[in-house]
Structure 1
């Protein structure tokens, strides 16, 4: 893999064209749209703000591009999807995560088609791929993050259906969603102990309340709490079989870990790019900041960390494309990318000095986003646990 801050993928004509068009849209139409609305990272916006982005992204072939052709996508490989996600991660656009369908769109439902009934596909999933409906995923609770089995949300039998009671937090895209893919603990244990099931919960159902979630340090208002109080779901809303909830919710954890890495790599690349530009243009005592050896060494470390993190990620993604299951490599990639991406962002703030700690600057935004990545989708400590288990257990 060649080091570059401007990957063009000339060896893959399809990907080359997609990346070029995606950059044009992010820096052109989408930038203009956000400018007209005066959007910033901390803006509060509604679904009505997102719907034009969903529609336009679908028209341009980006929304759900990774889905199979029979679902309206281009059937991208994991490596190709990662390249597009890296571009989104490198973009300063506030709404960039809606372009490929990360924000409650096709990327959230692609993996669950295999569990869905025809009814569920027609009512819930296909409308999401078309940008007509949106969803959120509700697994996390205040006392059940990394320890998902600590969840308290329960599903109690009621006739052919169930009554859901509990409180989910950090349901990303919840403020804009029509339904939630929600994991609950069954009130009645199975022979082997507690069971967990997945349900498709319409968010306008009596007993279901969507509350504004906590605002993360990135300042984004994209989280919701899903509060359930004796909320009835019918048998047609059970996704998969009873007891398959954690398999559905966590079953693609290796893929998900790896596909979160390109987003962080994109942010790290942007932080490095901004730092290089600043070092070239910022004048200190009559010379560019970049003439100082301390700055040169810091930039060299940042570039090396980015290259190493990117190389290992795309190597693991290539293994996925070959049909392999790189579990240990996924743990390693998530750990290394998270730690190095944040280190790059931290160094970028240091290089920018005063301008790096000013509220509203792009470097500040990258610092906040990349700090979160060390916790989201499994903390660095969880990744280390997984690596250690692989090394120590027979």
Structure 2
């Protein structure tokens, strides 16, 4: 099955991924969808703030995470059963219709909080289908030797979405309120749909279908048995659980504890973001990493230690410099890990494998936030940062003892 998929998706003329029109078409659609996500969350938050107190705004923002976490594994089964291309196109179409309908409701009336909660819940359900499917697409649109480049390009799109999306959403809110911001998000989703339809996707031989529950169990058993995929998925889960606290909550608490304020927080986050963008660009251009498994282990260990030492820094300049280096190293680690997993996974299981990876990052990891914040309040930032970094480094430490991971290579 791997051979069939690769042959169908081979870039024309052996061009690298960043010069392959099919890859760039998918990348443009993916970027538009990411920007739509960012604008949507800004619009949802500000629209909720206009009709509800802060506590209820938090509930609205968190509402979509519940169905996303519950249904994520089922989304992987759907992606593998019906094909990721169909699921991604359908998901973006539904998101477009949902957000434009919300924009119309906000423009024509003054609906209460119930509308925003309903939109967030439905959006979360669709996200549970979209995330595993979009993660399963890269191996189906390019060859294995181009996966590292494609992961680098994808990481650049993610950075673009997080940097450009919120200001665009804020500008739309300022000019036309919630209706305008929701409209912009809906149009961005609409932009991605025809591009996705025009993207060539490798076809797979027809497979025998089983009940959904059995397919889910088969996917989990596949991950557990696979000597490369299983350890790397577990390693990634430990890394997510260890680093999500410092990166998403810890930087705010650290800046407050050190007296650096919001500006200091912004500089640290910008340093990490620039480092990640540079590493993504290097992966996209270079694309060929020898001894990929060993490099992934090493970068995971070093990157985890670097993030831990951000919490130890007492000078803002030092914290920003360490954040930049940590982002640079972690970006290489993440790109290699994803490429190694997708190269080793049989195409028929890509959706289910991606759903397990997404569940950790988007479903379980956010549960660490309150625990991390409580620990920082009790013990201070430095020891909690270092403890979290040690948990993340454990993901690299145990794989260092596995020959299948140490000697893993990407196709050249």
Same fold, TM exceeding 0.5?
no
TM-score (norm 1): 0.35
Greater relative contact order, per chain length (Cα 8 Å cut-off, separation 6+): 2
- Report the structure, 1 or 2, having the larger strand content: 1
TM-score (norm 2): 0.33
